[in-house]
C-alpha cells in the first residue's frame, strides 16, 4: 500500500534507563532523575499552574506548547485541571514535527508506572487511542466530553503557527510551554521569528515557562514583548 503523501516520519529514539533520547541529535526528552517533577517545576509552576486553572486574576483558558514530544506536559496539565475540579473548559495547542511511534508511546507509559506516576500513566492510556495517524496538519482531540480540547499540529511549528494566526478568530494563548530540543540542536523552535509568532498568538499578560536560559532566546523573547527572568 502506498504511503499517504502527508505522512511524517516518526521520531527515531534510543532509550536509556527509561529516558528517550533523539537518535540524531543525542538530546534527551527530559531529565533523567525525575522527569515529572522537572516538568511540573518548569512548565506548570513556571506559569503559576495549577492555581490559574481555578479562580484567579489571570485565569488560564488556553495553553500552547512547542514540542509535544511524549505528551508529558499535556498529561500533567490534564491531571492538574482535574485536580482543580475542571472548573472551566481548557484548550491545549501543541506542535510536533516528529511524533512518537506507538511502541515508543507504550514504553513511555511503562516508564511512568515504574516511576510511580500511575495516575499520569492512566491518563496516557486514555489519550493514546485518540492520537492521530502521523499526518501533517491539524488534528482535534476532544477529551472529557469535549471540555478539554487538544489541538495538535503535526509538522513544522512555524508553519502551524502561521496557519493558527491566519484564522479569523484565532483564540489567544494564556500560557506557553516552550519545550523543544535545546537551542543548539533544535534551533528552529527558538528562532526569533517563531518566538515573535508566539507573542502574536498570546493574550495580554500571557506567561511562558522554559528550561533554557540561552541568551539568544532571552533576547528574542524580550524583543517580542516578554519580560524574562531566571528562577531556580
Specify the pLDDT at position 67: 92
Residue 181: band (very low, low, confident or very high) from pLDDT cuts 50, 70, 90: confident
Q: How many CB atoms lie within 10 A of CB 105?
A: 17
Residue 180 burial (10 A CB sphere; 0-12, 13-18, 19+): buried
Q: What percent of the chain has pLDDT over 70?
A: 98
Specify the pLDDT at position 59: 93
Question: For the ranges 91-105, 156-170, 214-228, which has the lowest average pLDDT?
Answer: 156-170
Write the pLDDT tens digit of every residue in 20-55.
Answer: 999 888 888 888 889 999 999 999 999 999 999 988
Specify the pLDDT at position 185: 85
- DSSP collapsed to 3 states, 78-111: HHHHHHCCCCCCEEEEEEECCCCCHHHHHHHHHH
Beta strands (DSSP E) in 134-227 are 137-143, 148-154, 173-178, 202-210
Query: Parallel, antiparallel, or unpaired for β 202-210 and 62-66?
Result: unpaired
Is the distance from CB of 47 to CB of 41 less than 8 angstroms? no
Does 183 score more than 80 pLDDT?
A: yes
Q: What percent of the chain has pLDDT over 90?
A: 78
Specify the pLDDT at position 16: 84
Verdict on whether the full-model pTM lies above 0.85: yes
Residue 210, SS3 per DSSP: strand
Mean pLDDT across the stretch 199-217? 93
Does 182 score more than 90 pLDDT?
A: no
Mean pLDDT across the stretch 97-116? 95
The maximal CA–CA distance of the chain, rounded, in angstroms, is 54
Phi-psi sector, 138: left (phi>0), alpha (psi -120 to 50), beta? beta
Q: What average pLDDT does the chain have?
A: 92
Does 1 score more than 60 pLDDT?
A: no
Looking up cell 491545549, which residue turns up?
92
Amino acid at each position: 500500500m502506498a504511503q499517504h503523501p502527508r505522512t511524517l516520519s516518526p521520531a527515531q529514539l534510543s532509550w536509556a534507563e527509561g529516558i528517550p533520547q533523539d537518535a540524531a541529535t543525542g538530546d534527551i526528552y527530559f531529565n533523567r532523575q525525575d522527569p515529572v517533577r522537572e516538568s511540573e517545576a518548569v512548565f506548570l509552576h513556571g506559569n503559576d499552574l495549577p492555581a490559574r486553572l481555578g479562580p484567579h486574576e489571570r485565569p488560564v483558558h488556553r495553553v500552547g506548547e512547542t514540542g509535544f514530544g511524549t505528551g508529558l506536559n499535556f498529561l500533567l496539565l490534564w491531571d492538574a485541571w482535574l485536580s482543580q475540579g475542571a472548573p472551566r473548559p481548557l484548550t491545549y495547542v501543541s506542535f510536533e514535527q516528529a511524533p512518537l511511534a506507538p511502541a515508543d508511546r507504550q514504553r513511555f507509559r511503562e516508564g511512568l508506572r515504574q516511576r510511580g506516576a500511575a495516575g499520569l500513566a492512566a491518563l496516557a492510556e486514555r489519550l493514546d487511542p485518540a492520537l492521530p495517524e502521523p499526518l501533517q496538519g491539524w488534528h482535534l482531540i476532544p477529551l472529557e466530553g469535549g471540555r478539554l480540547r487538544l489541538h495538535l499540529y503535526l509538522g513544522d511549528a512555524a508553519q502551524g503557527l502561521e496557519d493558527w494566526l491566519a484564522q479569523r478568530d484565532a483564540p489567544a494563548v494564556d500560557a506557553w510551554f516552550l519545550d523543544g530540543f535545546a537551542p543548539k540542536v533544535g534551533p528552529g523552535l527558538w528562532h526569533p521569528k517563531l518566538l515573535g509568532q508566539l507573542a502574536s498568538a498570546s493574550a495580554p499578560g500571557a506567561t511562558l515557562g522554559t528550561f533554557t536560559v540561552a541568551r539568544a532566546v532571552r533576547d528574542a523573547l524580550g524583543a517580542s514583548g516578554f519580560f524574562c527572568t531566571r528562577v531556580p
